[in-house]
Chain A
Amino acid sequence: MPPLLKLILRRLGLGVLTLFLVSVVVFGATQALPGDPARAILGKQAADKAMYNALRAQLHLDRPLYQQYGIWLKGIVTGNLGTSTASGVSVVSLIKQRVANSALLVVFAAIISIPLSILIGALAALWRDSVFDLTTSVGSLALASLPEFVIGMLLVFFFATTVVHIMPSVSRIDPSISVWGQLNLLILPVLTLVLAVAPYISRILRASMIEVLESDYVQMARLKGMPEPTVMSRHALPNAVIPAIQVSALQLAWLAGGVVVVEYLFNYPGIGSAFIDAVNNRDLPVVQAIALLIAAVYVIANLTADIITILVSPRLRTGLR
């Protein structure tokens, strides 16, 4: 087997192992810790012995821990995520639409932030030490420091409430109307996400671009008389973009968790706000399902970033351990 393939398979295997361990952590954090879930769910009605015992049996709380985990895991793999204790409906039906809604936010954020950041980073590198470079540099640093909810609130401050009133400050989607007719509700949440991840991507691209522009390869091309745009498009940008791709994949991963606070802030019906509701209601099946989902996205995105790195990075391909 070619060493490259072996490397990729190893990385995949580690990813699967990580996912498995993640599921153990999620299960442990919610079911293995002290506290009686059945009592927490029933509340006052826990005094009714029949109901209490029935619920315990239903939640398999009478079985040993490892068996509970096995049952739970089997359920996950077969698509049965359990029943929400707060609303009584199946977790899958509860979060289906919300997963789609959050995916929409993430996709929009990615589509906007990645090209935008690459452009800004490339220009900043090209026009080093110019006003543009310094402004974007300081701006990136500032944005990178801010927690997402602060970015969101600042956007609300500037565009929805105090400075101008052109944006809605809440993004509640009307389920009976096509989302495409309500795009204005998505602008602020998407913009928040974009501003949260763009600084990292553009900084990496800038640094990487500077390195590439100073490399022998590019100098050689210039000395040979190649026109600057061609130098950029054929030699500089493709090489500089590699680390940006890694970073982008990782930022997509981050977005999976970033939606939690942003959706809560804008009241957007996605899995982030569903997660907060579930934590507030001690709705453990929903908490488990969403935590697992977000972690899985994170692991898979990391995995993808690594595999891309392996594939495009000649150093790593040759210098295998």
Chain B
Amino acid sequence: MEAEDRPFPFDIMTRQYTRRDVLKGALVAGAGASLAPLLAACGSSNSPSSTSSSSGPKQGGSLRIGIVGGSANERLDGQLATTEPEIAITFQLYDALLGWDENYKLTNLLAEEVTPNADATVWTVKLRQGVVFHNGAPMTADDVVYSYKRIIDPKNPKMGATQLAALKSSGIKKIDANTVQFTLDSPNSVFDEAMAVYGNTIVPVGFDPKAPVGTGPFKLTSFSPGQQIVFAANTEYWGEKPHVDKLTIIEFADPTARVNALLGGQVDAISDLPSSQVKVVQAQTMKVLDAHTGAWQPFTMRIDVKPFSDVRVRQAFRLLVDRKAMISQAYGGYGWVGNDMYAPFDPGTPTNLPAREQDLEQAKSLLKAAGYDNDLTVTLTTSDAVGGSAVAAAQVFAQQAKGAGVTVKVNKVDPSIFYGNQYLSWPFAQDFWYTRNYLAQTAQGTLPTAPFNETHWKNAEWLKIVQQAFKTGDKAARDQLVGQAQTIEQDQGGLIVWAFNDQTDAYSGKLGGVVPDKGGVPLSSFHFNKFYFV
């Protein structure tokens, strides 16, 4: 069949491409002496390391990743990244000034040195030298200033703008070609964490999202929104250069399809492996990447409506949960117990508080004191949109609550309703969060200015402590304040943080460089430049 005879009306490649693609895939899988000439012909810049048995990382190859599906209106602008595909794209094309390593510790990316002043209102950032954008232009302070002004632009604020609320356009200054200074309206001792948000990408002056240019380890080759994105290695990358030449990220809305693609060899790794499929995947000699993260799916109780306005009811509800059983039933065991405190990796989070276990008797007596004697009925609103196991956890909670005479009606609603205009008004619901440290999380979820305060948390004493913590530059002192704030929330808050879920992904045995990442972003936080074929 000639190229002109393409079956109407499919958008297909010519037959030659198909054959070449298959050959490349087959060769990468099989390895062997003939790798070199064919790869050279296909434009690879590295010659393969050896033809002997798989010991070290091989250079070259085409990496294919299957991730959770997005939609047709995906964007290539990292500063707007919200869905999983968009986040994956962001990690390939761009860098922020700082980042998080796999142990959830801050690490320098495009910044070389970050220095706050005494009261954490002025932050001076010295930039890394020799970084170039994909178009060859060097990254300078002008680009950083442009990028941050773009993020906080009041006419078109980007994803990271809320966390940068204390930063105004006039506070972003270029000191010299390699130094930028941020002056904040109010002190923020953890401003460096804000700079580490993956969405605060550094882009060149005059950035056009339709032809995206960044400093990231991969360059964009092609983009089919909602379906797949193709990248080529950035051989001038300042960091760990990609081991593979080509990267294709394919989107799968359906988890079964995603798993089948891995098992069938159409992709080399997938994100978000459902716990039910772990055994299936392992039976076929694939590997499961299980990362203990700080991601959490709390039950949220609004403290400003009945019955949760009574703190005794909130405390009782926290005692209803048999946490280990819920992890085992809802997460298939892929999670670790939470003690009603978020930010598990924050050094200020207290570790000496007694572990909260299910105590139905105590719960019953608290409820009775609050006026409910085996007659409390609540509606728990949930949705698949909260995450794969949220509905399961809700059902388990309903079962466990029965033991204390509490009737929980599980109301599963569509995603568009759950996150529609009633979101944040549900008296009793669930939600999902990724790993953050304490202060960063309060800015998102519990401060009066937080955009997502599901529990409508308000506490004057707590607020004073947290505001003080934001001003405190000294780490030890800040940790102490964080500990105090955590303790108040743990005692009186409206969140039931019963567990932190593992991030489970799966990958083929042919891949190396895949490490678990505590931050909760799948597949080693999408650091595909670190992956290689063995």
> Could you list which residues of chain A lie within 8 angstroms of chain B, going by C-beta atoms?
39-40, 42-44, 46-47, 84, 86-89, 94, 96-97, 100, 168-170, 172, 174-181, 267, 280-282
> Could you list which residues of chain B lie within 8 angstroms of chain A, going by C-beta atoms?
6-13, 15, 18, 21, 71-73, 224, 226-228, 250, 252-254, 256-257, 260-261, 264, 266, 414-416, 419-421, 423-424
Q: Is the CB of A97 within 8 A of B7?
A: no
Take A87-B226, A168-B260 as given contacts and tell me if A177 and B416 are in contact as well, using a CB distance cutoff of 8 Å.
Answer: no
Q: Is the CB of B12 within 8 A of A44?
A: no
Take A170-B254, A267-B256 as given contacts and tell me if A178 and B18 are in contact as well, using a CB distance cutoff of 8 Å.
Answer: yes
Q: What B residues does A44 contact at CB under 8 A?
A: 419-421, 423-424
> Closest chain B residue to A42 by CB distance?
B421
Q: Is the CB of B416 within 8 A of A178?
A: no
Among the listed A43, A175, A267, A281, which residue makes an inter-chain contact with B254, where contact means beta carbons less than 8 Å apart? Answer: A267
Q: Is the CB of B228 within 8 A of A169?
A: no
Q: Is the CB of B13 within 8 A of A177?
A: yes
Q: Is the CB of B421 within 8 A of A181?
A: no
> Closest chain B residue to A180 by CB distance?
B7
**9 cross-chain pairs, A with B, having the tightest CB-CB distances, nearest first:** A43-B420, A88-B73, A87-B72, A178-B12, A170-B257, A87-B73, A172-B257, A87-B71, A267-B254
> Closest chain B residue to A89 by CB distance?
B72
> Closest chain B residue to A97 by CB distance?
B11
Q: Is the CB of B421 within 8 A of A176?
A: no
Within the assembled complex, what's the spacing in Å between the Cα atoms of A169 and B254? 12
Among the listed A39, A84, A178, which residue makes an inter-chain contact with B7, where contact means beta carbons less than 8 Å apart? Answer: A178
Q: Is the CB of B256 within 8 A of A175?
A: no
Q: Is the CB of A175 within 8 A of B228?
A: yes
Q: 19 interchain pairs (CB within 8 A)?
A: A39-B421, A43-B419, A44-B420, A44-B421, A46-B421, A47-B421, A87-B73, A96-B9, A169-B260, A172-B254, A172-B261, A176-B12, A176-B13, A177-B13, A177-B21, A179-B7, A179-B10, A181-B18, A282-B416
Q: Is the CB of A43 within 8 A of B9?
A: no
Take A87-B73, A168-B264, A178-B18 as given contacts and tell me if A280 and B415 are in contact as well, using a CB distance cutoff of 8 Å.
Answer: yes
Within the assembled complex, what's the spacing in Å between the Cα atoms of A85 and B44? 42
Take A87-B71, A87-B73 as given contacts and tell me if A100 and B415 are in contact as well, using a CB distance cutoff of 8 Å.
Answer: no
Q: Is the CB of B73 within 8 A of A89?
A: yes
Within the assembled complex, what's the spacing in Å between the Cα atoms of A47 and B71? 25
Q: What A residues does B12 contact at CB under 8 A?
A: 176-179
Take A87-B73, A170-B254, A174-B266 as given contacts and tell me if A43 and B416 are in contact as well, using a CB distance cutoff of 8 Å.
Answer: yes
Q: What B residues does A176 contact at CB under 8 A?
A: 12-13, 224, 228
> Closest chain A residue to B14 by CB distance?
A178
* A23 to B: closest C-beta gap in Å: 25
Within the assembled complex, what's the spacing in Å between the Cα atoms of A178 and B253? 21
Q: Is the CB of A175 within 8 A of B224?
A: yes
Of B21, B73, B228, which is in contact with the most chain A CB atoms at under 10 Å from its CB? B73
Q: What B residues does A97 contact at CB under 8 A?
A: 9-11
Q: Is the CB of A178 within 8 A of B257?
A: no
* A99 to B: closest C-beta gap in Å: 9
> Closest chain B residue to A282 by CB distance?
B416
Q: What A residues does B227 contact at CB under 8 A?
A: 175
Among the listed B15, B71, B264, B420, which residue makes an inter-chain contact with A40, where contact means beta carbons less than 8 Å apart? Answer: B420
Within the assembled complex, what's the spacing in Å between the Cα atoms of A100 and B8? 8
- Contacts between chains A and B (CB distance < 8 A), count: 84
Q: Is the CB of B13 within 8 A of A170?
A: no
Q: Is the CB of A178 within 8 A of B73?
A: no
Within the assembled complex, what's the spacing in Å between the Cα atoms of A176 and B253? 17
Q: What B residues does A267 contact at CB under 8 A?
A: 253-254, 256-257
Within the assembled complex, what's the spacing in Å between the Cα atoms of A282 and B12? 31
Given contacts A89-B73, A179-B10, 19 further A-B contacts (CB under 8 A): A39-B421, A40-B416, A44-B421, A87-B226, A97-B10, A100-B10, A168-B264, A170-B256, A172-B257, A174-B250, A175-B11, A176-B13, A176-B224, A177-B18, A177-B21, A178-B13, A179-B12, A267-B256, A280-B414
* A294 to B: closest C-beta gap in Å: 19
> Closest chain B residue to A279 by CB distance?
B414
Q: Is the CB of A169 within 8 A of B256?
A: yes
Q: Is the CB of A172 within 8 A of B72?
A: no
Within the assembled complex, what's the spacing in Å between the Cα atoms of A176 and B20? 13
* B387 to A: closest C-beta gap in Å: 17
* A151 to B: closest C-beta gap in Å: 19
* B230 to A: closest C-beta gap in Å: 9
Q: What A residues does B253 contact at CB under 8 A?
A: 267
> Closest chain A residue to B260 by CB distance?
A170
Q: What B residues does A96 contact at CB under 8 A?
A: 9
Within the assembled complex, what's the spacing in Å between the Cα atoms of A84 and B416? 14
> Closest chain A residue to B264 by CB distance?
A168
Q: What B residues does A174 contact at CB under 8 A?
A: 250, 266
Q: What B residues does A180 contact at CB under 8 A?
A: 7
Q: What A residues does B18 contact at CB under 8 A?
A: 177-178, 181
Q: Is the CB of B9 within 8 A of A100?
A: yes
Q: What B residues does A281 contact at CB under 8 A?
A: 414-416
> Closest chain B residue to A47 by CB distance?
B421
Take A178-B18, A281-B415 as given contacts and tell me if A43 and B257 are in contact as well, using a CB distance cutoff of 8 Å.
Answer: no
* B441 to A: closest C-beta gap in Å: 21
Q: Is the CB of A86 within 8 A of B15?
A: no
Q: Is the CB of B421 within 8 A of A43?
A: yes
* A183 to B: closest C-beta gap in Å: 11
> Closest chain A residue to B256 by CB distance?
A170
* A268 to B: closest C-beta gap in Å: 10
Q: Is the CB of B10 within 8 A of A178?
A: yes
> Closest chain B residue to A177 by CB distance?
B18
> Closest chain A residue to B19 by CB distance?
A181
* A42 to B: closest C-beta gap in Å: 7
Q: What B residues does A100 contact at CB under 8 A?
A: 8-10
Q: What A residues does B6 contact at CB under 8 A?
A: 178
> Closest chain B residue to A99 by CB distance?
B9
Within the assembled complex, what's the spacing in Å between the Cα atoms of A174 and B11? 11
Of A89, A172, A180, which is in contact with the most chain B CB atoms at under 10 Å from its CB? A172
Within the assembled complex, what's the spacing in Å between the Cα atoms of A40 and B11? 34
Within the assembled complex, what's the spacing in Å between the Cα atoms of A100 and B7? 10
* B159 to A: closest C-beta gap in Å: 15
Of A39, A96, A178, which is in contact with the most chain B CB atoms at under 10 Å from its CB? A178
Q: What B residues does A46 contact at CB under 8 A?
A: 421
* B154 to A: closest C-beta gap in Å: 15
Within the assembled complex, what's the spacing in Å between the Cα atoms of A44 and B425? 11
Within the assembled complex, what's the spacing in Å between the Cα atoms of A179 and B226? 18
* B134 to A: closest C-beta gap in Å: 23
Within the assembled complex, what's the spacing in Å between the Cα atoms of A178 and B13? 7
Q: What B residues does A94 contact at CB under 8 A?
A: 72
Within the assembled complex, what's the spacing in Å between the Cα atoms of A44 and B451? 12
> Closest chain A residue to B222 by CB distance?
A176
Within the assembled complex, what's the spacing in Å between the Cα atoms of A253 and B289? 47
Within the assembled complex, what's the spacing in Å between the Cα atoms of A282 and B419? 13
Of B72, B228, B253, B256, which is in contact with the most chain A CB atoms at under 10 Å from its CB? B72
> Closest chain A residue to B425 by CB distance?
A44
Within the assembled complex, what's the spacing in Å between the Cα atoms of A176 and B416? 31
Of B7, B264, B419, which is in contact with the most chain A CB atoms at under 10 Å from its CB? B7
Within the assembled complex, what's the spacing in Å between the Cα atoms of A267 and B260? 12
* A285 to B: closest C-beta gap in Å: 13
* A193 to B: closest C-beta gap in Å: 20
